[in-house]
Structure 1
Amino acid sequence: MSSLDDLERRIAAVDERLHMEAGLRASGDRDLASITAHVRTQTHLVQALSITQVEHTTALRELGETVAALRQDHSAKLDQIITMLDRLLDTNGQ
């Protein structure tokens, strides 16, 4: 085998290896693009959940304030009814 044959064989091996590595790089690029798309999707999902959680927290706070106001109003009305009943009982009892 001459040195020229050896050189041609080595060049062919290098060429084959470069071809294989190019394919691996392209595959890695596709994988990275896929991962990036998934991360972007999950980031949007977390942001949407955060917005929804803020909206729900606001709604719950408003409901809590409404319930507190209703309790106070009902308590005042119950006190008024009890006072009226006490007067009625006092009037009828005399």
Structure 2
Amino acid sequence: MIIEDDSFALGMPTPVQMLRQHARLVEAECEQLRHELDRARENIEKLVAIHQAQAVEITRLNARIERMTWELSDALVENTELKNRQIGGIPRTYGGMPPAPDGRR
């Protein structure tokens, strides 16, 4: 905004002219601040929308993590059961003694 300074062309301004000039400067500053405030409000609205979208995504991912944790736990239990069956299924020795080489007990 261009501020008129014609009143100062003839030398020393009067107090009224100085007050008018000051009022114009304050009005220009106020207009600039309103414009910046409008831009800030638009930015805040955009940030709120982004935050809401990310909150939804975080909730979805947390649910997926929980589901995958349960699946991993189930897989570990199944793996342990299979190992236990493999280890304890058929004893290699009878009574803790190795089998006789000729097949007798």
- TM-score, scaled relative to structure 1: 0.69
| Amino acid paired to 1:24 | H
Partner SS for 1:93: coil
| Amino acid paired to 1:67 | I
1:35 to 33, 38, 55: 33
Cα drift, residue 88 of structure 1: 1.4
Q: Which moved more, 1:18-27 or 1:42-51?
A: 18-27
CA distances 1:38-64 after superposition (whole Å, capped 9, x unpaired): 111111122222111111211111111
Q: Which has the higher helix share?
A: 1
Residue 46, structure 1, aligned to residue 49, structure 2 = no
**Aligned counterparts of 1:58 and 1:84: Cα–Cα separation in 2:** 39
- TM-score, scaled relative to structure 2: 0.63
1:62 to 60, 63, 70: 60
In structure 2, list runs of 5 or more residues that go unmatched.
Answer: 1-13, 93-105
Corresponding residue for residue 79 of structure 2: 81
Corresponding residue for residue 5 of structure 1: none
- Aligned-pair identity in percent equals 8
| Amino acid paired to 2:67 | A
Q: Which moved more, 1:19-28 or 1:60-69?
A: 19-28
Cα drift, residue 17 of structure 1: 4.9
Cα drift, residue 92 of structure 1: 2.9
